Amino acid sequence: MSERTAQQESWVVNGLCIEGLCWGDVGKPPLLALHGWLDNAASFAVLAPLLVEYHIVALDLTGHGKSSRRSEDASYQIWDDLPEIMGVIKQLGWNDFELMGHSRGAMISSILASVIPDRVNHLVLLDAVAPQAIAESEFSNQLAKFLKDKPRGLLREGRLYPTMDEALAARTKGDLNLEAAQLLAQRSLQRRDEGYMWISDPRLFGASAVKLTHGQNRAILENLSMPTLLLQAENGLAHAFDIRAEAERHISNFSTEVVQGGHHFHMEEAAATVATRISRFLAS
């Protein structure tokens, strides 16, 4: 297959259909890419073709893009995707691989790498490291928020936009530029009779039932024995959570660099710089 053309793939794991995009020859070293909140596999459509040395598989995580939504009794805890991700890895036949994640996908990547450290050769984190921790004393309050939000999420319908331009504009109110929103729209924007709707599961907007504590986050970071690279966006979200100091303190083989751009810097003009930095790191 062409180095620069994505190929659509799908896998069925635990009764859920997991969709994804692949770039590069299957004979090259494998790299798994996990997108951020409300994004999809097309989040890597700019960056992946630049990483020509690798066979890249980017997934639509459950409730995102073309992948299945989780059942009504299930939830979207940040670790809930791990069994399906492991199922895809098994079907791909990968014994070990490179792992890269952006935002929420970076947090999932850190958790995954911490539980199978012998199988992840390098870990690349784009503008996030671990979930935002809460104090143990907040457990009951957090669970109460979840119980309040879940029924609303099950009943909630996505907002209907009269035109595609209006739907795209809704995704560009933050740091996402129009070109990036158009890429994501190919997998997450659906035409309806009366307009357009972003089809990510509304439950993704609800509170998590449980959030990790500072000690649990620390345990995750301390178990990342593989070389780990954090690329922080100059105008991204990572600075708000002050994640760099925590990562430097607890990840044994850690390096970091600030890259120009916003939270989706890997889909912006900085993508070439990001690709060069990642290629150099993975080759080390």
- The residues that are catalytic are 103
Contact 130, 248 (CB under 8 A): no
- DSSP assignment of 121-181, as one string? EEEEEES--SPPP--GGGHHHHHHHHHHHHHHHHH--PPEESSHHHHHHHHTSSS--HHHH
Contact 61, 90 (CB under 8 A): no
Phi, psi of 236 (to 5 degrees): -95, -165
Q: How far apart are CA 267 and CA 71, in angstroms?
A: 31
Q: How far apart are CA 153 and CA 88, in angstroms?
A: 27
* Start-end of H helices in the chain: 82-92, 104-115, 139-155, 164-171, 178-188, 214-222, 238-241, 243-250, 271-282
Place of tokens 């035409």: 191
Contact 236, 266 (CB under 8 A): no
Q: How many residues does the chain have?
A: 284
